Structures are given as C-alpha cells and as structure tokens.
Amino acid sequence: MTVTLNYQPTPKRKSRLNLWFEQIMVILILLNYLLVLFDLSYVPYHDFWQQGKLQVVFQTPFLNINVPEQPIQVLPFNITNQYDWVKGIAPHRESVQYLAKVDELNNILNQQMDVYSADSQNLKKLTEESEYIFADLRTLSEEMIKQNPFEVANKTGTLERIKNRMRQHIYETTQSSADTAFQIFWSRDHFINEGFRKELDFFEQEIRPLIQTNYFRPLGENGKPLNHFWLLDLPFITIFFLEFLMRSWIISRHYQGVTWFEAMLWRWYDIFLFLPILQPLRIIPLTIRLNQAKLINLQQLKRQASRGFVAILAEDLIPIVVIRVINQIQASISQGEIQKFLRQRRHQEHQINDYNEIAEIFKLFFQITVHKIIPKIKPDAEALLKYNFEKALAQSSMYQHLQLLPGMKNLENQIGEQFSTQLYQAFSETLIEMAKDDPKFNQLLEQLLQTFNQTMEIELQGQKSINQLETLVTEFLEEFKINYVKPLSAEDLEIILEQTRILRQAKDLTLVEPTLIRRVR
C-alpha cells in the first residue's frame, strides 16, 4: 500500500478551530467517562450515594475501629432519588413496612406525651394501641432476622451490623442472641424503664440508616438485574460514532491510497467510545485525545513506555534473531552454497555498461591520490624521509669519520633536505605520469584485475579449498555464537536506548524547517 499525503498549508485560524473541536470532543468524552465511573460505582457504593455520609470501618478479631467515629456528611443531597430508576432499584417492601411501623409508634408516643407528663409514673399509662405496635415490631424483627431480606441486594453484612448494634445496645456485647435483643428492645417495659425518647433516638441514629439502605432490584428477561444506563449512554455513543465516521472519512480523503476501512483502523482506539461493553476501556481514547488536544503532555510517558517495551523485547529477541541468522548461514554452507555461488557467478554476471567498474574505481582513487592528496602531504612526507635518512646516516661509521673533517658538520642536514626533496619529487612525477590517460595502461590494468579474479575463482573452486573454506567459516560462526551472542543485560539495553535517544535528538535538530531557519537569521 502506497500512501501519499495531499499536503496543503493549514491557516492559523483553521488550525485553531481544529484544536477547539478536539477540546470540545475530549470534554464530552471526559463527561461520559465520569458518568461511566459513577454508574459502575453506584450499586457497590449505593449506601454512600443514598446517605452522603463517609465513614471507614476497620474490623479486627478483637476490635472494630470507625474512622471517623461519627459519619461525615459529604453530599448535601440524596442522589438515589434521581438515579435509582437507572439501575431498576426500588425500596424493599419489608424494610419500608418495618420503618413505617416504627414511625407509627413514634407518632403515638408523641401524642401520648402531650397528654401525660414525662415522668415514669405517667408513662405506665401507655394505651393498648402502642402495645399492639410493639408486638408487630417484635414479629417484624423476628422475620427480618430469619428471612434476611437484605440477601437480595447482597447486603447481608448490613443485617449483621444491625444485629451487632442491637446486641451491643441491650447486652453491651455482640456475643448474645440478636433475636432476644430485638424482643427486649421492642417492649413497653423496656421503653418505660429506659425512656422512650432515648430508645427511639438510638433507633433513628444507629438502626434506621442501615435498614434504609436495603433495596429490591428485579431481574430482567436475560436473568441479569435491570440496567437502563444505555438510555443515558446512547446520546454520547451516537455522537462518538458519527465523529468516528467523519474523522476516518476525512483521513481517507486526505491520504491517497488509504481506504475508509484502513482509516478506521488508524483510529482503532476510538472504537471503545461507542462500544456498549467494556466501558472502562474508554480511558484509552480519553487519554490519547487529552494528549492530542494539548490538555496534557504524555510525550515523556510515551518515551519511557516505549523504552521499557523495547527493552523487554530486545532482551529476548536479539540473541534469538542473531543465532537464527547464524544457523541459517551455517546450514547454507553445509549444503554447498559457497561452491554453487562460485560456479554460477561467472554465468550470472550481467554488464549494464561497457567498462569495468572495479578498474574505474581503482583509477578514481588513484587520480585523487596523485592530484589531491600527494601535493598536500608533501611537507610531512619530506620531513619523514629526511628524518629516516639522517637517522640512517648518523649510524654509518663512514659518516662519523667524515664529520671530523673541516666543514662537514652541516653535511647531514644539507644531504637530508636534498635527498628527501628529490626522492619525493621523483615519486610524485612517476605517479603523475602513471595517472595520465593511457589506453595501454587501462588495458593492462583491466587484464590484471580480470586475471586475478579468474585465478581466485578457479583456486577457490578446488574441492580442497572449498572444504577448508566451509569448515573455517562454520567453525568461526560457531565460536562467534558461543563467545559473543549473549543475552543483553538491563544495563546494556539502557545504554543502547540512551544512545538511540541522543542520536534521534541530534537528528531532530537537523530537521528544522527552512522557513524557521530564515526567520532566526
């Protein structure tokens, strides 16, 4: 597939509009993802969303610790009244009936308090009507403990907390019977002895909030609890799907050779935005789009992740790849590929011109050496020749005797300069003469190279030479595997990756737009 970019300069205004569009879309994605997180946390943390209170309970075999001691009101309003329908949550009938009966008792007692004084003697005159309510509450408490209506909402632990609090209130221990504790609590004598307002306050503060958290969630025809979240998610999914189609279509029009489907694959991460399943994975397109909209910068994280990923792969793959290549070369050698190559080489050569490239390369280097290099190194070469001549002359016994004669002390320097100059001059003139265009010289050079090549091929094709060459190459590769192909350590990989990063940065510095360079100048 060939991809050609139809590049057109983008005006500043258009670029700014594109950035605004990206930011608007990423805000929508962020809002949708927050809604998804809220929906996922709604059922597990229904108690918090219902009461808006926060308290962490640490349970140990010897002690229960509440932090803080009293729950803190975090949310100023009840969200469940507006969102329970999304999850199909409805108040549990038995829990509602239980709390309604407590409210009825509270109303009767308040009415009777208006008639009687608050002392214990007058509280004994409570009517039989309140006694019937106490009896109903004892029955309802017994049914609640035995039937466990909290099990439907997977809140059996809440029922245990209710039972423990009632045991602690009546017996000051959690090891007694919860059923008996409720029977004692919902009795007229107990309310008269302890004070009905005190007991009702205990129930309102400690028991009622736990009973209120119980709910009923019916099952749908698919056997799963009802969930109408798709109604809230549908508008977002529609927008994201249309934007995905539009963006991929624009990419396919912008790049020649890229089909619409291939453009969709380029934006594979956006598919999570309109999938009705795997909703938590929308964090992937959200993160990428936040970076594209320049609201966050993930380049450093991307580089570190890439380095880590490459390091993990390289540590295992590099030795495997190298050993695999060496094994293939050894297999080819053992199958006689070298001999086949040498035999077929002469018949498979094809000439695309009328001259010998090797001879021309040799002449090119020779011309450069003679006309460019030799004149520039002349002072250094003459100095070297002079030094070696003077050194050899100084070691001669005849020259040592000549130095005793008058006027012979500077003979060494004079002879050295003349010798080095004349020798280098003769060498240069010889090479210059050889470098002249001479058809006979060219013919002899080509003939020499051709003869050398043919002789080398004939000698290598000998069975003894072939066997020796194959053996030596195979043994060399085997030694190379043993001695040099080793697993890279983490330190080696870090050094290689760091060197790669430095090279890439140096390369990026050279790829500066010409207009920017002119602007700086």
User: What's the pLDDT score for residue 511?
Assistant: 44
The pLDDT of residue 244:
94
pLDDT of residue 35: 95
Whole-model pTM above 0.75? no
Q: How many angstroms separate the Cα of 326 from the Cα of each of 272, 320, 337, 470?
A: 44, 10, 14, 14
Kindly state the tokens that stand for 19. Answer: 């950035």
> 3-state SS of 458-507?
HHHCCHHHHHHHHHHHHHHHHHHHHHHCCCCCHHHHHHHHHHHHHHHHHH
What is the DSSP secondary-structure string of 119-181? SHHHHTT--HHHHHHHHHHHHHHHHHHHH-GGGTTT-HHHHHHHHHHHHHHHHSSSSS-HHHH
Quick check: bond before 235 cis, omega within 30? Answer: no
- What integer pLDDT is reported at residue 307 of this predicted model? 66
Q: In Å, how far from its chain's centre is CA 515?
A: 35
At 261, list the tokens: 């489907």
- Mean pLDDT, each 10-residue run in order, the chain (521 residues): 47 74 92 95 89 77 72 83 90 92 87 55 58 91 92 89 92 86 91 86 91 89 88 95 93 86 90 91 92 82 68 67 75 70 55 63 77 81 76 65 58 69 76 71 73 69 67 78 63 64 63 38 36
Residue 214 burial by Cβ neighbours in a 10 Å radius (0-12, 13-18, 19+): buried
What totals of helices (H) and strands (E) does the chain contain, helices first? 25, 6
Check residue 256 and give its pLDDT. Answer: 81
Tally of residues, the chain: 521
- Hey, what are 422's tokens? 């004349």
Where do runs of H (alpha helix) occur along 203-269? Answer: 208-212, 229-254, 260-266
**What gap in Å lies between CA 434 and CA 430, rounded to an integer?**
6
pLDDT score at 406: 57
pLDDT at 482: 74
